[in-house]
Amino acid sequence: MKHDSGWRRLIAIVLTKWFIRFTKLTTPLKPKELDLLDESIVVFPFRSESQFFAQATPFGTVIWNEHWMGGLPEHAQRVVLRHEQSHQERNSVFKGLLYGFALWFVFGLFALTGAGVLLFSGATTASVAYTGGIGLIAVAVFVVTVRVDETLADYHALRDLGEEEFIAGYTDLPSVSDSSILADVQRRIFYPTPQQTIKLHRLVKRIERIP
């Protein structure tokens, strides 16, 4: 079993380094251990000026942008790390659904694009309604799934670190995050605000106190 676990770990390391090379277009650095939370966690650092902090990969690892994270205060690093660690804790069923819906999202974009082209070419609304409807549903399902995943990640960070540290950490993140219009739209669609996460946390606590 230990031999099998060792091979799996080696494969995860190799895939993570290639993930950094292809998605971040930079060279991975030597893995390092962070002691920011109750338990230490190994992250895979890289340096990039892209507006990107960290990410949980499909291989059970976390990549860590030293260019930004190295300049953040510890409480902000803790919020980011606990957020990404929460993504790792999803069960295989949820992860399978998320990746499957990601493929449907791509299909949905193509379907919506095709419907738009047909409408622009003179086709009637009725003739493209089915294709456009399927595309819209595919996109919506993926967006909702990602929103749930991100909400859970923020909720776990807030629950474990407390409201004060959670808010302090989030307050320091926008100073280095992407401020473009597209990035702002993506944040509004996929990510809850800290205030929304706090409301959810307080609601859960009230429900738990119900006898």
* Alpha-carbon span 49 to 113, nearest angstrom: 31
Query: Looking at the structure, do residues 175 and 82 belong to the same domain, yes or no?
Result: yes
pLDDT in tens, the chain (211 residues): 444 568 888 999 999 999 999 988 899 999 999 999 988 999 999 999 887 899 999 999 999 999 999 888 999 999 999 999 999 999 889 999 999 999 999 999 999 999 999 888 888 888 888 989 999 999 999 999 999 999 999 999 999 999 999 999 999 886 665 667 777 788 889 999 999 999 999 999 999 988 7
181-211 exposure pattern, b = at least 16 Cβ within 10 A, e = fewer: eeeeeeeeeebbebeebbebbeeeeeeeeee
Query: Looking at the structure, do residues 153 and 178 belong to the same domain, yes or no?
Result: yes
Output the pTM of the full model.
0.87
Q: 162 lies in which domain range?
A: 73-211
* Alpha-carbon span 132 to 146, nearest angstrom: 21
Query: Looking at the structure, do residues 93 and 59 belong to the same domain, yes or no?
Result: no
Query: Looking at the structure, do residues 29 and 79 belong to the same domain, yes or no?
Result: no
The Cα angle at residue 17 between residues 16 and 20, in degrees rounded to 5: 90
Number of structural domains the chain divides into: 2
The Cα angle at residue 74 between residues 71 and 76, in degrees rounded to 5: 80
Query: Looking at the structure, do residues 49 and 100 belong to the same domain, yes or no?
Result: no
Predicted local distance difference test score (pLDDT) of residue 2: 44
Query: Looking at the structure, do residues 103 and 80 belong to the same domain, yes or no?
Result: yes
Among 51, 71, 91, the domain boundary falls at 71
Q: Cβ(46)–Cβ(63) under 8 Å? A: yes
* Alpha-carbon span 207 to 153, nearest angstrom: 20
Among 10, 36, 71, the domain boundary falls at 71
* Alpha-carbon span 174 to 191, nearest angstrom: 13
Query: Looking at the structure, do residues 118 and 43 belong to the same domain, yes or no?
Result: no
Predicted local distance difference test score (pLDDT) of residue 178: 63
Query: Looking at the structure, do residues 3 and 91 belong to the same domain, yes or no?
Result: no
Query: Looking at the structure, do residues 121 and 196 belong to the same domain, yes or no?
Result: yes
Query: Looking at the structure, do residues 23 and 95 belong to the same domain, yes or no?
Result: no
Query: Looking at the structure, do residues 106 and 191 belong to the same domain, yes or no?
Result: yes
The secondary structure of 6-26 as a DSSP string is HHHHHHHHHHHHHHHHHHS-S
Q: Cβ(203)–Cβ(112) under 8 Å? A: no
